[in-house]
Structures are given as C-alpha cells and as structure tokens.
Amino acid sequence: MARGFLLILLCTAFASAHAASDKILYHVHHLQLDGIPRVLSNLENLQKGMPDRQLDIRLLLQGDSILLLDPWIDDSFRQRLHELRQSGVRIEVSRSNYADNRNRVARDHPPQLVENLFSRIVELEQQGYQYVTP
C-alpha cells in the first residue's frame, strides 16, 4: 500500500513539474518604428527556441512602446503580433499610458490595463517571471 502511494505521489510530482510553465516578463520601455521587427522577432525566437516548453509570456509596454499596438503599423507586423497573441503572449499597458495614447491603440485587441507598470514588474517577478528587455 505504501509503495502504491509513493508511486502515485512521484507520478503526480513529475506530471506537475512538466505542466509548469516558464514565466517570461518581456519589458519594452522605448520603441521606435524601426525597432518593431526586433521586438516581434525576439518573442517569436523565444517561442521557437523553447518548443517543448509551455511559455507564459507577458509583454509589458511602457511609454512610446505602445506604438506596437498602433492600428496603422505595417500589416505584416500586425499579423505577427496577432499570431503572438494567439500563441498566448499577453500584452499589458498602464492605464495612464493607454489613456494618453488611446488613439494609437488598435481597438480590436485591447491590452490588459494595469495601474502601475513598475509595481506590475515587481509583482510578476515575485511570481517567478524572468525579466527580459531588448
């Protein structure tokens, strides 16, 4: 009986270890139009480089990096961003930055709004997210 319980316990621990996701916090604090391809490529390469891993990626946009969400950016960039979102990348922006740039954000996929981006970074790091920035 004890061996069966131990076996179940080990299998459960092994399964939950593999089910756990790698948590990535990708923070973009400054972005100009020519930097958009680099940000998108970095996120795509991160996913391609870890194909057997379940990734939980949060993309935090600060300041003028909200340009990434502009409805007028190149169609290919918009498509790549859409595909990243479909793959699970979640985009977060501070409420004040969103309010200041509401006209620059595509309405079809609004980002998740947070009160304070710096507090959010600390919160996510405390939850085990690894901080990455371009």
Quick: pLDDT tens for 40-99.
999 999 999 998 899 999 999 999 899 889 888 889 999 999 999 999 999 999 999 999
Residue type, 89: V
Higher pLDDT among residues 11 and 115, named by residue? 115
Please give the structure tokens belonging to residue 30.
Answer: 């400054």
Q: What is the pLDDT of residue 34?
A: 85
Q: Is the pLDDT of residue 115 over 50?
A: yes
**Region 112-132: what's the mean pLDDT?**
96
Q: In angstroms, rounded to a whole number, what is the distance separating the alpha carbons of residues 50 and 87? A: 13
Residue-level pLDDT at 11: 44
In the prediction, which pLDDT does 17 show?
A: 44
d(CA 98, CA 110): 10
Q: Which domains does the chain have, with CATH numbers?
A: 21-132 (3.40.1260.10)
